[in-house]
Structure 1
Amino acid sequence: MLEFTTIAAEHGALLRGYYETCNYGLCEYSAGTKLMWGERLHPAFAEAAGCLIIRNELEGEFLFDYPVPGPEGDEDAALSAIEDWCMEKGVPPVISVVPAVKAPRLLQRYPYVGVRNVRTWQDYLYKAEDLQNFTGRRYSGQRNHIKKFFAACPGAEFKPLTAEDMPLVNRFWEDYGQEFAKADDPRAATELELAKRTVGQLDKPWFFCGGMMSGKKLLSLALAERCGDTLIIHIEKALYSYVGVYPAMVQAFARHFAGDAVWLNREDDAADRGLRTSKLQYGPNHLAPKYHFAPQNELLCHVKTLPVLTTERLTLSELTEEDIPAYNALVLDGERNQWWGYDDVAGLGGPVEERSFYEVAKRDYCNCAAVNFAIRLEGKLIGEAVLYHFDYRGDAELGCRIAGEYGGHGYGTEAFTAAAEWGLYGVHLTRVVAKCFKENEASRKMLASCMRPAGEDETYYYFEKKV
């Protein structure tokens, strides 16, 4: 089970171990974004299968970044770890800010999934050479503004900034505050404070910072981070009163820091009209999509009401309130349930009451987490079949138990087969799986009679049934 740690400043080096060579090209896959926007995204990390796994929490919903593999990373195993964690917590495995190159893998992985790609959050990607040179008619405006800037500030030059330059940076923030036109916009004011805090980390070796100087005055600054073949520009600020300082800084910054980077990512525009206009004027090569994958299980898609299944001797149907006494007796039969594999009482999370187990079954069905069938002989509840652990990839697990006084008559096999067939052809699962303790020879024989072996470990025999 994944164990997450809230991201803090001291985790920057660990994050960079993965992001430094990451070619996803999106700003979210960077240490700067995680640290700068931590109070909004509440990011936490775990490491599994040689991959970095990031869990964000936004407005009460867990959103996972696509796993970032290290040299020996296994992305599929990392995705499975995310799914297992979500299954344990009872939440869907929502994978967000998925780069275009990874979207086909998730489309193949999840049979039923809602996909979004909101324009507002797409990143602006520019060819590094375009911003370094501003060649061609489309950049005539930038070239003219740069000429005006140097005409007004003939001695201006680009200066790389380090931690030793923080007094200069702090004076820039004071000057910038005098010209800040969005002081009444809470979102813009918050972004400015976060930018100041992030620039305060110039001692971190993965941040590149620099700005245009005129004499002893800093007129602009930008801060970036190299991730794979992309230089991600986290912050760009300039004194508005100096016409042309923005394009002058953009070009000088790209020339100084881009190196052999292929792309410059100037991040999204957050639906700000001014930002959108400005970013488009610099001629992006493309807007990088950020896909949002919200997988759904087959139960949600195909089962509106619980059917009645019939076999030669049995009926499988929904639990009712009249079943509560017999159902409680079944669940609380400790001797019979020693090989059931699930502690029903512990699963309650509270004291046992008359309706406790019935209410759990109802709740799980309403949440599309499980289906509990009452197994009936001549109308009387003699056991249950439970389809659960929907993994969002077409698999679900099936369990079955029969009351002690009805054991040994093949009722379990009969009910199990009916529930498995319904799972495959009624719920449209790809595979139904089951397991039994190695000590439970009766269950092993029952499962072997209606499913195929699928391996074993120290504790269980595993079985599967496919379409």
Structure 2
Amino acid sequence: MLQFQELTAAQGDCLRRYYEACDYRLCEYSLGVKLMWRGHLHPSFAEEAGCLIVRNCIEGEYVFDFPIVGEGGDLEGALCAIEAWCAETGTPLVLSVVPEDKLPLLALRYPRFRVINERPWKDYLYRTEELAAFAGRRYSGQRNHINKFRRDFPDAEFTPLTDPQDPRLAAFWRDYEAEFHKTGPLAVQELALAQEMFSRIGTGWFCAGGMMAEGRLVAVCLAEKCGGTLVNHIEKALYSHAGAYPALVQAFADHYGGDCQWCNREDDARDKGLRTSKLQYLPEALAGKVRMEVGTELDALKAVPTLKTERLTLTPLRKADIPAYSALCLDDDRNRWWGYDYRTDLGDKPLTDTYFYDDARADFAARRALNFAVRLKGKLIGEVVLYHPDFRGSFEQGCRIAPEYAGHGYGTEAFAAAADWALYHLGLARVVAKCFKENEPSRRMLASCMRPSGEDETYFHFEKTV
């Protein structure tokens, strides 16, 4: 299973190996956004199948970036790893800020999903050569502002910034704060984070520069090259120097954008002033990003159904089943082959009389799993469970029968009925199962209901498809 570590500046060199070649053109696929907004995103990462997998935790919800494929990486392997982690941990599978052009791939991959595509998320994409030139009638407004700025400040010039200790930077932040009129908490936080980002310009991860006038910095910009896109993370200019802002945009694109086709000036955060400004620079496109909430076939199920076989009935668990169900779940001899130890999840919590019953109901309420009570003449003698979805039309199935009812074929009968219902009524494409290699009775039972699909050091694997 994926092992995540906190995404911090300490891993910057490792992460930039992926981001510097990433061609998604979205600001979220950059080291700068992850570091600058880490207090909101709470990002962590793992490397799998030659890909970078980033997991964010936003307001307590885990959401994944679309994997970034490194050299020789395997996107399929990375997606499977995300799916397996979500299934194993019982976490909803949510892929956020997915590039629009990746949506068809995911839509064909997942049978059930919900897509959200909102205007405020979209980034502003400009052709770098157009920002560097501001040529043609449609950019006459920008040229007029720049010409006025240069008339007022004839000594104005662009300068690269590479030293985080540059005294000109410290002076700029003092001047900027003196003119800074926004008092909202987000604006104040963003200013503090911008200053922190400039403290990292000596790492080689970012490019930075500013406009000098009258011997001091009057505008600054920090950006990051990701694939063929120059992602502008920070743009600041003194309000007292009219025209410094467009002059900076032009000079920065001209100096740093030569090997980048696109300039991404990020989204507008629903700020009316930012939206108006970004639109005035005539973006070539609004780069869309979507949120995909992946579901399973269980989402459409309103209740656990009742199934009938020749001798058995499969029903939802009932309160009256609690003693027999708890005894089944506490049978260590049986659980040795079940492959699950309740003590792991229980941890330090006390084991209550209703623990297993409540756990099964909670799993179904969240549509993580479905538990059938197996009944003989109304009495609970075992259970069949559908669990561990792969989010692509497949669930794993397990079955256990109380020891006093073993050896009569009840497990085979119940397992086969549940598998047929899952395929032909629930609508799964595949049901899979496994058993320990030492468990010969389970192997025979599964072989009678399903076809072998492989083995590893521990298990025999089986599957049944439509």
Q: What is the total number of aligned residue pairs between the two structures? A: 465
Does residue 256 (structure 1) correspond to residue 251 (structure 2)? The answer is: no
Aligned match of 2:462 = 463
Cα distance change, pair 10–164 in 1 and its aligned pair in 2 (3 A):
closer
Does residue 8 (structure 1) correspond to residue 19 (structure 2)? The answer is: no
Q: Using the alignment, how far apart are the partners of 1:112 and 1:68 within structure 2?
A: 24
List runs of 5+ in structure 1 lacking aligned partners: none
Q: Is the 8 A contact 1:345 1:352 kept in 2?
A: no
Counterpart selection for 1:332 from 308, 330, 340: 330
Cα offset, 1:91, TM superposition: 1.3
Does residue 403 (structure 1) correspond to residue 410 (structure 2)? The answer is: no
Q: Using the alignment, how far apart are the partners of 1:58 and 1:331 within structure 2?
A: 36
Aligned match of 2:321 = 323
Q: Using the alignment, how far apart are the partners of 1:432 and 1:351 within structure 2?
A: 34
SS in structure 2 at match of 1:418: helix
Residue 186 of structure 1 aligns with an amino acid whose one-letter code is P
Percent identity between the two aligned chains: 59
Counterpart selection for 1:308 from 286, 300, 306: 306
Cα distance change, pair 345–218 in 1 and its aligned pair in 2 (3 A):
closer
Q: Using the alignment, how far apart are the partners of 2:445 and 2:307 within structure 1?
A: 19
Q: Using the alignment, how far apart are the partners of 2:373 and 2:419 within structure 1?
A: 14
List runs of 5+ in structure 2 lacking aligned partners: none
SS in structure 2 at match of 1:243: coil
Aligned match of 1:75 = 75
Summarize deviations over 1:226-253 as a string: whole Å, max 9, x none. 0100000010000112121111111110
Q: Is the 8 A contact 1:348 1:360 kept in 2?
A: no
Summarize deviations over 1:171-190 as a string: whole Å, max 9, x none. 111111121121x1111111
SS in structure 2 at match of 1:267: coil
Summarize deviations over 1:204-261 as a string: whole Å, max 9, x none. 1121111111131111010111010000001000011212111111111000000121
Summarize deviations over 1:416-440 as a string: whole Å, max 9, x none. 1110111112222111110111111
Q: Using the alignment, how far apart are the partners of 2:370 and 2:419 within structure 1?
A: 12
Q: Using the alignment, how far apart are the partners of 2:40 and 2:86 within structure 1?
A: 21
Aligned match of 2:204 = 205
Summarize deviations over 1:82-136 as a string: whole Å, max 9, x none. 2222222221121111112222221122111111111112110001111011112
Aligned match of 1:116 = 116
Cα offset, 1:397, TM superposition: 0.7
Residue 10 of structure 2 aligns with an amino acid whose one-letter code is E
Q: Using the alignment, how far apart are the partners of 1:132 and 1:354 within structure 2?
A: 71
Q: Is the 8 A contact 1:208 1:225 kept in 2?
A: yes
Cα offset, 1:353, TM superposition: 2.9
Q: Is the 8 A contact 2:432 2:462 kept in 1?
A: yes
Q: Is the 8 A contact 2:49 2:77 kept in 1?
A: yes
Q: Using the alignment, how far apart are the partners of 1:312 and 1:173 within structure 2?
A: 80
Q: Using the alignment, how far apart are the partners of 2:204 and 2:93 within structure 1?
A: 34
Residue 285 of structure 1 aligns with an amino acid whose one-letter code is E
Q: Using the alignment, how far apart are the partners of 1:332 and 1:58 within structure 2?
A: 37
Residue 146 of structure 1 aligns with an amino acid whose one-letter code is I
Q: Using the alignment, how far apart are the partners of 2:113 and 2:84 within structure 1?
A: 17
Does residue 153 (structure 1) correspond to residue 153 (structure 2)? The answer is: yes
Q: Is the 8 A contact 2:164 2:198 kept in 1?
A: no
Q: Using the alignment, how far apart are the partners of 1:333 and 1:27 within structure 2?
A: 53
Cα offset, 1:297, TM superposition: 1.5
Cα offset, 1:164, TM superposition: 6.4
- TM-score, normalization: structure 2? 0.97
Aligned match of 2:137 = 137
Q: Using the alignment, how far apart are the partners of 1:21 and 1:103 within structure 2?
A: 20
Aligned match of 2:352 = 353
Aligned match of 2:32 = 32
SS in structure 1 at match of 2:203: coil
Does residue 291 (structure 1) correspond to residue 290 (structure 2)? The answer is: yes
Aligned match of 1:91 = 91
Q: Using the alignment, how far apart are the partners of 1:164 and 1:233 within structure 2?
A: 18
Q: Using the alignment, how far apart are the partners of 1:68 and 1:409 within structure 2?
A: 52
Q: Using the alignment, how far apart are the partners of 2:271 and 2:334 within structure 1?
A: 64
Aligned match of 2:235 = 236
Cα offset, 1:345, TM superposition: 4.3
SS in structure 1 at match of 2:339: coil
Residue 311 of structure 1 aligns with an amino acid whose one-letter code is T
SS in structure 1 at match of 2:385: strand
Cα distance change, pair 164–10 in 1 and its aligned pair in 2 (3 A):
closer
Aligned match of 2:448 = 449
- TM-score, normalization: structure 1? 0.97
Q: Using the alignment, how far apart are the partners of 2:344 and 2:232 within structure 1?
A: 50
Q: Using the alignment, how far apart are the partners of 1:74 and 1:255 within structure 2?
A: 36
SS in structure 2 at match of 1:335: helix
CA RMSD in angstroms, aligned pairs only:
1.4
Summarize deviations over 1:269-328 as a string: whole Å, max 9, x none. 00101100000000100010111111111111x210111100111100011121122222
Q: Using the alignment, how far apart are the partners of 2:263 and 2:90 within structure 1?
A: 39
Cα offset, 1:348, TM superposition: 3.3
Cα distance change, pair 241–336 in 1 and its aligned pair in 2 (3 A):
closer
Alignment of 1:161-172 (within 5 A): 161-163=161-163, 166-172=166-172
Q: Using the alignment, how far apart are the partners of 2:39 and 2:329 within structure 1?
A: 45
Aligned match of 1:180 = 180
Q: Is the 8 A contact 1:166 1:200 kept in 2?
A: no
Aligned match of 1:344 = 342
SS in structure 1 at match of 2:173: helix
Cα offset, 1:165, TM superposition: 6.1
